[in-house]
Structure 1
Amino acid sequence: MKPRLNFVTVLFVACLVCFAFQLTGWNPIEKATRAEASTEQDWLANVALTELRVHPESLTLEHARDGRTVLVSGKTKDGKWVDVTPWAVLMPTSAGVKVHEDGYIFPMTVGTTKITVTVKGVTTELPVNVKSMEAEPVSFVRDVMPILSHAGCNNGTCHGAAKGKNGFKLSLRGYDPDFDYELLIEDISGRRFNRAFPEQSLMLLKPTSEVPHKGGQVIVPGERDYSVIHQWITEGAIPDVETTKRVERLEVLPDSAELAVPGMKQQLIVIAHYPDGTTRDVTREAKFTSSVNEVANVTDKGVVTAERRGETAILTRYEGAYSTNNIIVMGDRRGYKWVETPEYNYIDTHVHNKLKRMKVLPSELCTDEEFVRRIYFDLTGIPPTPAQVRSFLTDKTPSKAKREQLIDALVETSEFVDHWTHKWGDLLQSNRKFLGERGVWLFQQWIHQAIAENRPYDEFVRDLITATGSTYTNPAASYFRVSREYTAAVENTTQLFLGVRFSCNKCHDHPFEKWTQNQYYEFGAFFSDCRVKPGQLPGDEVVYANYT
C-alpha cells in the first residue's frame, strides 16, 4: 500500500518551488519578452525605424511663456507605429526657438523656423511659428488654478474637503475659481500674500514647506510652478475670473494607442482648447488616471506603461474638462490568425471588429444542449422542462433556424412577460414603501401590459417620465411617487435610462466623469415643477406640474 502524501508536505514543496522561481527571476509569461528586450534601450537598439512622424505636425507659439512639447512616433519595418519620444533629439535650425531639457519648446524670436527631429539616424522636420515675444500677465484662471489642482491642494483629502483643512478651504478640484480667489485674497485679512516680497507670501511658504505644512512639500522652490505663482503675486495677484474663460475641451494625443509588449511606454500630450480659439499645452498640469492599473499605469507626467495584456482607458482631467483615451496592451500574439466566422447581424460585425483588433478568436458556437438551457433562463427566468429539452434536441431543423424559432416562441409566452415584468418592477422600485399595496399592484399591471403589448422602449420611457394625474387612474405616474424630489428624479432617470451616475455632480463637478454641477441642475429643471399631492381615494396620489 502506497503512503498518502501529507497535505502540508505538498504545500511546503510547492512554496519551495515558487521561492526558487522568485530567486532566479524566472517568469514563463515574461520570458520571451525579456529575451527580446531586457530594457527600453535594448528594445530601441534592436528595432529598425523607417520613418518618423511628429504630433502635432506643426507648432504655433503665441507668446514668450507659451511652451509646447511634441510626440515622436517611429514606423518599424513591419509597418507598426511606436512611441520613440524619449529617444528623440530635437535640434532647432535657428535661434528662433529653444528646446529645454524637459523637451518643451519655447520661443526666442518672432518668425518661422524649423526643428530637426532625429531618432537612430532617421530624421524629420517640425515647422514652428513664433507670433510674439511679449509675456502675457499670469492668469489666475489659466495659470495659477491649474497649478493648485495639479499639486493636489483642492483635492477632497486636502483643502477641497467639505470643511477644508486647518481653517483653509478651496472648491473641490477648482470648480469655483471665484470662490477660491476670494478666499485666497480676503481670508485671514489677505495674509497669504506679500506683494512687496512675494517669496515671503504664505501661499508660497506653505506648499514649499518653508513653514510647517501637513501636506508636505508639493511645490519645489525655483521650479516652474513656483515661478508662475511668484510672478502672479509680483504682478499684484490680479483677478481675471470675470474676464477669462476656462477650458472648453481637451485634446489628448494620441487618441488611442497599442502597446506591443509589457514594459513599453506611450507619452500623452494634452492640449486645452479655449472659447476664444486659443490653445495651450497643459500636459504638466493635467491629472491622469488608468481605469485598470493591472493592464497599464500612467504617471503624473502622462507616461503610460504597459503591464500585461488587456485594455484600459486613461482618464485625463484638467480644470473641469475630461477626455478618455483607449490603450491596448497586445502582448505576445505570435501564431494568431483570424478565422472567418459567419455574421448574421450588425452586432456580430461590431463584435468581430473588436475581436480582430484585440487579436482574439471568437468562441466556439455553443451546443444545442447549452443553448436551450441558456435561452430559457435569459428570456423566462426558469429552466426548460425535460420534455422541452428533448423536443428541441430531436428537432431535425437546421440549428440556426430552430434556435430563432425557439426565441420567437418564448417571447410570446406568459413566462416571458412575467419575468420581464418583475425585472422592470425592480428597476422602477415598485414596492409598498413608495406605492402602498394597491399602488404596487396597479403599477405592476401597467408594466405587465406594456411588455405583453411589446410596447417600443422609447414609448415606454416617455409614458413614464411624462405621466401625470392619479396614480390609480394612470399607474405610470407612480414613477414620480418613487422619485418625489427632483434630485431623485434626476439621479434615477440618468442611471436607469442613460446608464450614467449623476449623484456625484450634485455638489460639485464629477471627479471622474465629464458631467458638471451645472448640468445636474440644468437637467433637474425638467423635473423641478413636478409635484405630488394626495388623491381622492385612500392611498392614491396625484402627480401634476406646478408652474407657479
Structure 2
Amino acid sequence: MMSGKRLWISGSCLWLMTVLAVSGVCAGLQPAKIVITPSSLSLDSTEQGRRVLVTGVTAGGEKFDLTREARFEPSGGVRVDEDGYLYGLSQGAAAVKVSARGRSADLPVNVGDLSQKRAISFLSDIMPVLNKQGCTAGACHGSAKGKNGFKLSLRGYDPEFDYRALLFDVSGRRFNRADPARSLMLAKPTQTVPHEGGLRIEKGSRYYDTIFNWISAGTPYGDMQRDSVARLEVTPPEVFMSRPGMKQQILVVATYGDGSTRDVTREAVVASSQDTTAKIVDDSVVQGERTGEATLLVRYEGKFVIVPVTILNPEPGFEWKQLSQHNYIDEHIDAKLERLKIQPSEVAGDSTFVRRVYLDLIGIPPTPEEARAFIEDPETSRLKRIRLIDELMRRKEFVDHWALKWGDLLQSNRKYLGEKGTWAFRQWIRDQIASNRPYDQVVRELITSTGSTYQNPAANFFRVNKDPKEAMEKTTQLFLGVRMVCAQCHDHPFERWTQNQYFQLAAFFASVGVKPGFDSDEEIVYLKRDDNTVKHPKTGRIVEPEYLIASAGAPPLNAEEDRRLALAEWLTSDENPFFARAISNRLWSYFFGRGIIDPVDDIRASNPPVNPALLEALAADFVKNGYDLQHVIRTIVNSRTYQTGIAANEWNENDATNFSRFLPRRLTAESLLDAITVATGSRPEFDEVPPDFTAQELPDPHIGKGGFLDMFGRPERESACECERRNEMSLPQAMSLVNGPTLAEAVADPEGRVAAAIIAGKPDRELIEELYLGALSRFPTAGEMDDALTYLRQGAGRAAGAQDLLWALINSNAFLFNR
C-alpha cells in the first residue's frame, strides 16, 4: 500500500487488468484467428450503441470468447465507449479494427442518416428501465397489492396499465414537466426523497437521462405498432464451452414493429436454470461452473429466447465406445452423449433387469420363483427380456399398476365422486387400459362426456372439475403438459400465454353444468342453456372461445353445437404440437424418474427438453402407431437406455439429466408395501375391499388413510400434478421401517415366508436363497451366503435369524429403490 501518494492507473493499464481478470481459464488458449459477430454493423443513432462478439478460434477449432478483452480502434465516423459499444458520429462508411491476443480483424461499419432521431416513448424506452431495475418485480410494485399505494403490472406485462398508473395516480404528481429533475419518478429511485426500495438509479446515469428526457418530451406513450418489440434475437444461439471456468458474453437485439433494431443487452434480463452449472456473473455474461448443461432465459419486454448452455468435461483421454442400440431411443441418446463426451454405462445384468421391469410395468417385484426362472433361463439375455416384457404387459397387474397412475391424475377420489362414483370411475379407467384403447379416443370421451356419472363414468371428469376455469386448467395440464394457472391473473411471466388466452380456453367449458341425479350421490353432467359464458375480469365482457394455437388440425367453431367437440378435435389432432409430446414425455418419466422435459406438466419454451430429437421421435412414433400407449411403453423398456446399469464410469458419474445410466428411484408407497408383501409372504389387511387386494388396487386414498401408504407419499388425489406424489426419504419413514408395526408384523407372520420355509424344513442355503430372491430378485453372492450362514448358525434360532436377515434385506437401499 502506498500511503500519502495518489495512485493513477492509465487507460492501457486498466485494459491490461481487465484482460487478466476476464481471461481466467482461457488464458492459455492462443487464437489462430478471431471472428467478429455480426460480421458488419449498420448504425443509425448517436444515442443507441451496438456491440459485437469477438471469438477466438484455435488451430484445433476450439472457440472461446474474447469480447471483454478485445480492443477496438475506430476509423471514420464511429466512436467506441468504455463498455465496447459502437456509436455513429457521421454518415458514411467506416471501419473498426478489432484486436485480441495478437490477432486482429476488421469490422465494416455503415453509418446511416443520424439526423432523424427516433422519438422517445414509454413503450420503447421507459418500460425497459422499470423492468430492468426491478420496479415491476413481484417483491416491489409488481406485487398483487403493489407497494406503498403504487402498483405496476407484474414484470410489465400490461404497459398501458403501468402508464396510466404512473401518469394519473395521485393526480399526476409523479411528474414535474416544468422541472423534470424534481419529478417523483426521478427523486424516488435516486433517493433524493426517501424510497423504501433503496437507490435504484444514479443521477447522471443512462437510465436517469432516459427518464429525464422522456419527461421533458411530455411523457409520450408511443405507438403500439411501432414501439413494441416484435422479435428478440440472441447471439450466440447456443453456448458451448470446452471446460468449466470459461465465460461467454451474450448479445440481445430487439426488432420493433417498424422493422428497426436496437441492442438491448443492458436492459435484457438473463437468468440461468442451473446456477451451479452456468452462472450469470456480469451484465449478460455467463460463466461455466461445472460440467453439465443449463438453459438461459433471456427476457425483454414480453419476448424471450432460450439459449442452451453446455460445458464439457475437460479431462483428456475420452474415446467413444459404441454400445449396442436396440431402437431409435438409443440412437438419439447416443448421439447427444457422444457430443457431450459422456460414455453410457453398460447394460444391467438379468437379476437387476428382472426386478426393475417388474416394478415399472406391473408395480410389484417378481416372486422368488419368477426371479429364479428368468435368471436361469438359458435363452440369450436380449431375447428373454423381450419375451418377459410382452408377458408382463398381458398380466392383470399391468392394468392394476397403470390404473393407479391414471386414478391419481384424474383425481378418482370419493371426496369428489362419492363411494359408488369412485368405484365406477376406477372400473372405467381399468377398461381403457385393459383394452389398450387409443389415447386420443380416451381423452375425447373424457372432455366431451355428459350424462349420469354412474351410467357414463367418464363424466366424473366434470364432477371433479365443475368450474370452467378448473376444467380448462386440468385439461391443459394433463393432456397438453401446459400450466395455464399463472395466466389467470396476468400474462404468463415465462411463456407466451396471455390472460386473454386463459379465459378464451375456459370459454370452451362455460356451458358445462352439473346437477344432482336421481340415485343417491349421483350427479348429471349437462349443457346449460343460460349462464353459459365466461367474462373477462378486466373488461367485464363475454369472452369467445379460441384455441391456444391455431394449428392445422383446428376445426372451425360452431356456436350452435357443444364447443367441447371442436376443442377435443383440436386437442387430439395429429397436428397439435403438444398432445403427443406431453403424454410421450409423461410416460418416459415413469421409467426414468424425470421427463425429457421436467416437470412433465410444465412444457414451455423456457423449459426445453434435454433431448429434443428424442422427444420428437417418441411423439411421432406414438402418432404413427395410432396413439397406442402400450407401444410407447414397450419401445421404452426394450431400449438399451432403459436397461442400462446404475454403475457410473469416469465420464458419466456427474450426469443426472442425459440418461447415460440408470438412476435409482425410491419405490412408490403402493409398490413398497406390495414389495414387502412379496418378500415376506404376508398380505396386509385393508377395510372395505376384498382380502386379496394389493395396495395398488385400492380405489382411492380413503382406504388405509393415515397409515403406511400415506407416510410413504401416497397422493391425496386433490391435484392433477405429478408432484402430489412424494418419493423422497425421511426420518419418520426410516423409523417406520426399523421399528414400525407394518414390517415387523409382516416379517414375523406365522403364515409368512420365513415360517413356511422353516416348517417345510428347507436347508439353510435354500432358505437364504429364497429370502434374497424374494427381497432383491437375485441370488446372494458367495460372501453374502457365508455371512448369512454364520449368522443363522450362531443366533438364538433359525427362525429368529431368518427373520433378522429378511428384516435387514428389506431395510437395504437395494430393496427400497428400483435400481
Count of residues in correspondence between the two structures: 511
1:488 aligns with 2:488: no
Structure 1 CA distance, aligned partners of 2:42 and 2:444? 50
**Offset at residue 379 of structure 1 (A):** 0.5
Task: Describe how 1:455-494 pairs up with structure 2 within 5 A.
Answer: 455-494=437-476
Among candidates 446, 454, 460, match of residue 428 of structure 2? 446
* Stretch deviating more after TM superposition (304-313 or 379-388): 304-313
> Which residue is equivalent to 2:300?
318
**Offset at residue 512 of structure 1 (A):** 3.7
1:212 aligns with 2:194: yes
1:271 aligns with 2:271: no
Among candidates 159, 165, 168, match of residue 177 of structure 1? 159
1:122 aligns with 2:103: yes
- The secondary structure found in structure 1 opposite 2:160 is helix
- Percent identity over paired residues: 50
Amino acid at match of 2:493: P
Amino acid at match of 2:259: G
CA distance 1:412–1:106, shift in 2 (3 Å):
same
- CA contact 1:263–1:305 (8 Å) conserved in 2: yes
> Which residue is equivalent to 1:113?
94
- CA contact 1:288–1:299 (8 Å) conserved in 2: no
**Offset at residue 392 of structure 1 (A):** 0.9
- CA contact 1:481–1:532 (8 Å) conserved in 2: yes
> Which residue is equivalent to 1:363?
345
Amino acid at match of 2:514: V
1:411 aligns with 2:411: no
CA RMSD of the aligned region, Å?
Answer: 2.0
* Stretch deviating more after TM superposition (235-244 or 131-140): 235-244
- The secondary structure found in structure 2 opposite 1:426 is helix
- The secondary structure found in structure 2 opposite 1:526 is helix
> Which residue is equivalent to 1:372?
354
- CA contact 2:226–2:257 (8 Å) conserved in 1: no
Structure 2 CA distance, aligned partners of 1:280 and 1:521? 34
1:284 aligns with 2:266: yes
Higher RCO (C-alpha under 8 Å, 6+ residues apart): 2
CA distance 1:225–1:378, shift in 2 (3 Å):
same
- The secondary structure found in structure 1 opposite 2:73 is strand
Structure 2 CA distance, aligned partners of 1:525 and 1:245? 32
- CA contact 1:178–1:241 (8 Å) conserved in 2: no
Amino acid at match of 1:509: D
**Offset at residue 447 of structure 1 (A):** 0.8
Structure 2 CA distance, aligned partners of 1:333 and 1:461? 49
- TM-score normalised by structure 2 residue count: 0.60
> Which residue is equivalent to 2:384?
402
Structure 2 CA distance, aligned partners of 1:449 and 1:156? 47
- TM-score normalised by structure 1 residue count: 0.89
Structure 1 CA distance, aligned partners of 2:238 and 2:215? 40
Task: Describe how 1:87-166 pairs up with structure 2 within 5 A.
Answer: 87-95=69-77, 97-133=78-114, 134-166=116-148
**Offset at residue 330 of structure 1 (A):** 1.8
Amino acid at match of 1:351: I
**Offset at residue 242 of structure 1 (A):** 4.9
> Which residue is equivalent to 1:83?
65
Amino acid at match of 1:122: R
Structure 2 CA distance, aligned partners of 1:386 and 1:188? 78
**Offset at residue 367 of structure 1 (A):** 0.2
CA distance 1:41–1:315, shift in 2 (3 Å):
closer
CA distance 1:57–1:480, shift in 2 (3 Å):
farther
Structure 2 CA distance, aligned partners of 1:389 and 1:485? 49
* Stretch deviating more after TM superposition (125-134 or 303-312): 125-134
1:305 aligns with 2:287: yes
- Post-superposition CA distance 1:256-275 (Å, at most 9, x none): 11223332111111122334
* Stretch deviating more after TM superposition (272-281 or 436-445): 272-281
Higher strand share: 1
Structure 2 CA distance, aligned partners of 1:41 and 1:323? 27
Structure 2 CA distance, aligned partners of 1:541 and 1:278? 59
**Offset at residue 514 of structure 1 (A):** 4.2
**Offset at residue 366 of structure 1 (A):** 0.3
Amino acid at match of 1:116: K
Structure 1 CA distance, aligned partners of 2:362 and 2:261? 55
- CA contact 2:252–2:265 (8 Å) conserved in 1: yes
- CA contact 2:25–2:245 (8 Å) conserved in 1: no
- Post-superposition CA distance 1:306-343 (Å, at most 9, x none): 21222111111212222221112224221111101121
Amino acid at match of 2:212: H
- CA contact 1:289–1:316 (8 Å) conserved in 2: yes
> Which residue is equivalent to 1:436?
418
- CA contact 2:180–2:212 (8 Å) conserved in 1: yes
Among candidates 373, 378, 381, match of residue 391 of structure 1? 373
Amino acid at match of 1:167: G
- CA contact 1:287–1:300 (8 Å) conserved in 2: no
Unaligned runs of 5+ in 2: 1-18, 531-819
1:58 aligns with 2:40: yes
**Offset at residue 40 of structure 1 (A):** 4.4
- CA contact 1:141–1:244 (8 Å) conserved in 2: no
